[in-house]
Amino acid sequence: MLSINNLKKTYSTGDEALKGVSLEISGNEQVAIIGPSGAGKSTLVQCINRLTEPTEGDVYLGDRELTKLNKSELRKARRRIGMIFQEYNLIDRLTVMENTLSGRLGYVSTWDAFRRNFPEEDIKYAYETLDLVGMEEFADDRADELSGGQRQRVGIARALLQRPDILLADEPTSSLDPETSRIVMELLGDIAERENIPILINIHEVHLAEEHVDRIIGLTKGEVVFDGPVEELDEESKDVIYRGEQIPDDAADMAHSQATVGSDVTDDMTERTDA
Partner 1 sequence: MATEQNSVSEKQKGTWERPSTFYNKYTKYALYVIIIGFFAWSFIGTGFDVERILQGYGELTPVIGIAWPPNFEDRFLSLYFQGIYESVGMAFLATIGGVLISIPFAFMGARNIAPRPLYYFARGIFVSTRSFHNLIVGIVFVTAVGTGAFAGILTFMFSTLGYWAKLMAEDIEDIAGNKLDSIRAVGASPLQILIYAVVPQVMPRAVGLTIYRWDSNIRGSIIIGIVGAGGIGLTLINSYRRYEYDVTLAILLIIIAIVLVGEVASAYIRGKVQ
Closest C-alpha to 188, from 208, 216, 217: 208
Q: Using the rule CB under 8 A, is 81 a contact of partner 1?
A: yes
Q: Does 12 bind partner 1 (CB under 8 A)?
A: no
By CB under 8 A, residue 162 contacts partner 1: yes
Q: How many CA atoms does the CB half-sphere of 94 hold within 13 Å?
A: 17
The C-alpha atoms of residue 118 and residue 112 are separated, in whole angstroms, by 7
275 contacts 42 by C-beta, under 8 angstroms: yes
Q: Is residue 158 close enough to count as binding partner 1 by CB under 8 A?
A: yes
**156 is an interface residue for partner 1 by CB under 8 A:** no
Q: Which of 112, 100, 86, 103 is nearest to 204 (CA)?
A: 86
Q: Are 213 and 30 contacting, i.e. CB atoms less than 8 angstroms apart? A: yes
Q: Which of 13, 93, 244, 265 binds partner 1 (CB under 8 A)?
A: 93
Give the integer Cα–Cα distance in Å for 44 and 52: 9
Binding mask 111-150 for partner 1 (x = CB under 8 A): --xx------------------------------------
Q: Of the candidates 22, 68, 92, 128, which one interacts with partner 1 according to CB under 8 A?
A: 92
Query: Of 10, 89, 175, 180, which one interacts with partner 1 (CB under 8 A)?
Result: 89
The nearer residue to partner 1, 92 or 131, going by C-beta atoms, is 92
Binding flag, residue 96, partner 1 (CB under 8 A): no
Q: Is 43 helix (H, G, I), strand (E, B) or coil?
A: helix
17, 273 contact by CB (below 8 A) = yes
Q: Is 173 in the site for partner 1 (CB under 8 A)?
A: no
Q: Which C-beta is closer to partner 1: that of 93 or that of 179?
A: 93
Closest CA to 154 of 130, 186, 190: 130
Task: Provide the binding-site residues for partner 1, judged by CB under 8 A.
Answer: 49, 51, 75-81, 83, 85, 87, 89-94, 98, 102-106, 110, 113-114, 155, 158, 162
